[in-house]
Chain A
Amino acid sequence: MATVNTLIYLIIYPGLLFIFLYSTFVEWYDRKLYARLQNRMGPTHTGPSGLLQPIADFFKLMAKEDITPERADKTMFAALPPFGLAIVSTAMLLLPVWNYSLEQSSLTSFNGDIIVLLYLLSLPTFIFFLAGWSSTNLFSTIGGARVLTMLFGYEVPLFLAVLSPAVLADSWRLAEIAAFYRQQPALALVNLLGFIIALICVQAKLERTPFDIPHAETEIVGGTFTEYSGKKLAVFRLMLDVEMVVAAGLIATVFLGGFPGGPILGLINFIIKTLLVVFFLSLIRATTSRIRVDQVVSFAWKYLAPLAVLQLLIVIIVKGLIS
């Protein structure tokens, strides 16, 4: 029985099937919202209001010809997409929505899981870098170099911004952090600055405008994904969608009080809160133009990092006042 349970847990809910369906739904939501902000229609044809369009895109890409460049590192080139998808799917299981209890720690919710989640969210960046590097295309290589350059910019502010609520809650466990802010909602306001910084950094991590520099279409063609096609590209795109859900879930847990209310209410909470975060991400995407990679680094270190430190200072002061 336990084996069946585990299998259901891994494959159907909240495992791969749920992750696939929900992340494609979030992609549809993002596309539709982006289109509506631009006074366009967005996907309309496949399914009601184009709801099935991302799934159709996924299967269409799966059926396409898959080409591996002659000079590429073939093992690496083929292994990276499923590896990346596995990483972000694992990260999804760590979100305190499913199968956790506040009292005792389990395999998916333990003290320090916020660090593990942040670490798992950093790995895709390296996957993109390696993908660009191993495909040996000039544009991919430039894209890979840009991925790493950007990483130096946004990673530190993101960590500072996400960890400062944890400092205030005095816990390194996501479920406990969320529970802390549910009990004292007023304290969540302290983290407003951190919330904005985290949104911007997540936008950079997901490589969306204004930070879509590693695969800037008009500059370096497809960037890291230039040589990817067919199944591998489909998996990479799915991976980006899942990463968006995980990142939105992380922000919602840490800043918006998590997902209380058991399996069903918790799921509804999860959907509402992630969609809210994705709304902000889409708005940022629609409002700005792409900036240069040197501007990203200088922006991150001139503005984001000092502000993140300021947030940490505020948190420490508030913590001193409370206790």
Chain B
Amino acid sequence: MKIGVFIPELIRHLFRTPATVDYPFKKLEVPKSFRGSPYLQPELCIVCRACERDCPAEAIEINTVKEEEKIFSLVIYNDRCIHCAQCVDSCPTKAMQMDEKFEISNFNRHNLKMDWEFVRAAVKPKAENKS
């Protein structure tokens, strides 16, 4: 038992810069591998629907717009997304990627929806493997 064991530590920190950051005015950087929100690179998507099947939050929806012209639409409901990046892992062509945004709150959940309409990419996983 000692009285005031904490005082030296406290006084030492009195003249140091604080460990906290003045947040909304100054921001810390997130690491490179940060899992933000998922986004699609439509030129790579082959519509295998692996992301739609594996998404635990059912936040990805793939619809057929015009069957004969191979036009599809992919919707990411970011309000439901749990940012687990399973879609990135499931994607065979790396069409799904994660960004590094962390301030994505919004007053309306529908504003978080993202959608793409695109022509299905040609299947070429074997050619990629060789090169």
> Is A40 touching B10 in the complex (CB atoms < 8 A)?
no
Chain A count of residues within 8 A CB distance of the other chain = 12
A142 at the interface (CB under 8 A from B): no
Contacts of B14-30 to chain A: CB distance below 8 A:
14, 16, 18-20, 22
Q: Which 4 A/B pairs are nearest by Cβ-Cβ distance?
A: A37-B10, A41-B18, A39-B13, A39-B19
> Is A37 touching B14 in the complex (CB atoms < 8 A)?
yes
A–B Cβ pairs within 8 angstroms, 8 of them: A37-B11, A37-B14, A39-B13, A39-B18, A40-B20, A41-B20, A287-B4, A287-B6
Which residues of A sit under 8 angstroms from B14, Cβ to Cβ?
33, 36-37
B122 at the interface (CB under 8 A from A): no
A40 to B14 CA separation, bound complex (whole angstroms):
9
B7 at the interface (CB under 8 A from A): yes
Further contacts, 12 of them, CB under 8 A, given A39-B13, A286-B6: A35-B18, A36-B14, A37-B10, A37-B14, A38-B10, A39-B16, A40-B20, A41-B22, A287-B4, A287-B6, A287-B7, A287-B10
> Is B18 touching A283 in the complex (CB atoms < 8 A)?
no
A44 at the interface (CB under 8 A from B): yes
Interface majority SS (helix, strand, loop, mixed), chain A: helix
> Is B19 touching A40 in the complex (CB atoms < 8 A)?
yes
Q: How many whole Å from A162's CB to the nearest CB in chain B? A: 23
> Is B4 touching A40 in the complex (CB atoms < 8 A)?
no
Q: Determine the residue in chain A with the shortest Cβ distance to B21.
A: A41
Which residues of A sit under 8 angstroms from B7, Cβ to Cβ?
283, 287
Q: How many whole Å from A223's CB to the nearest CB in chain B? A: 25
Total A-B residue pairs with C-beta atoms closer than 8 Å? 31
Q: How many whole Å from B127's CB to the nearest CB in chain A? A: 56
Interface majority SS (helix, strand, loop, mixed), chain B: loop
Which residues of A sit under 8 angstroms from B19, Cβ to Cβ?
39-40
Chain A interface (Cβ < 8 Å from any Cβ of B): 33, 35-41, 44, 283, 286-287
A44 to B26 CA separation, bound complex (whole angstroms):
13
A40 to B7 CA separation, bound complex (whole angstroms):
16
Which residues of B sit under 8 angstroms from A283, Cβ to Cβ?
7, 10
Q: Determine the residue in chain A with the shortest Cβ distance to B15.
A: A36
A36 to B13 CA separation, bound complex (whole angstroms):
7
A36 to B18 CA separation, bound complex (whole angstroms):
7
A86 to B10 CA separation, bound complex (whole angstroms):
36
A286 to B5 CA separation, bound complex (whole angstroms):
12
A36 to B9 CA separation, bound complex (whole angstroms):
12
A228 to B15 CA separation, bound complex (whole angstroms):
37
> Is B22 touching A286 in the complex (CB atoms < 8 A)?
no
Which of the listed residues A36, A39, A283 has the most CB atoms from chain B within 10 Å of its own CB?
A39
A287 to B4 CA separation, bound complex (whole angstroms):
6
Q: Determine the residue in chain B with the shortest Cβ distance to A286.
A: B10
Q: How many whole Å from B3's CB to the nearest CB in chain A? A: 9
A117 to B119 CA separation, bound complex (whole angstroms):
85
Which residues of B sit under 8 angstroms from A286, Cβ to Cβ?
6, 10
Q: A39-B16, A287-B4 are in contact. Are A44 and B10 (CB under 8 A)?
A: no
> Is B22 touching A44 in the complex (CB atoms < 8 A)?
yes
Q: Determine the residue in chain A with the shortest Cβ distance to B18.
A: A41
A36 to B20 CA separation, bound complex (whole angstroms):
10
Which residues of A sit under 8 angstroms from B10, Cβ to Cβ?
37-38, 283, 286-287
Q: How many whole Å from A144's CB to the nearest CB in chain B? A: 31
A41 to B19 CA separation, bound complex (whole angstroms):
8
Q: A283-B7, A287-B6, A287-B7 are in contact. Are A37 and B13 (CB under 8 A)?
A: yes
Which residues of B sit under 8 angstroms from A41, Cβ to Cβ?
18, 20, 22
A33 to B10 CA separation, bound complex (whole angstroms):
10
A286 to B8 CA separation, bound complex (whole angstroms):
12
Which residues of B sit under 8 angstroms from A33, Cβ to Cβ?
14
Which residues of B sit under 8 angstroms from A38, Cβ to Cβ?
10, 13
Which residues of A sit under 8 angstroms from B6, Cβ to Cβ?
286-287
A44 to B20 CA separation, bound complex (whole angstroms):
12
A35 to B22 CA separation, bound complex (whole angstroms):
13
Which residues of A sit under 8 angstroms from B13, Cβ to Cβ?
36-39
Which residues of B sit under 8 angstroms from A35, Cβ to Cβ?
18
Q: How many whole Å from A288's CB to the nearest CB in chain B? A: 8
A104 to B39 CA separation, bound complex (whole angstroms):
83
A31 to B123 CA separation, bound complex (whole angstroms):
64
A35 to B14 CA separation, bound complex (whole angstroms):
9
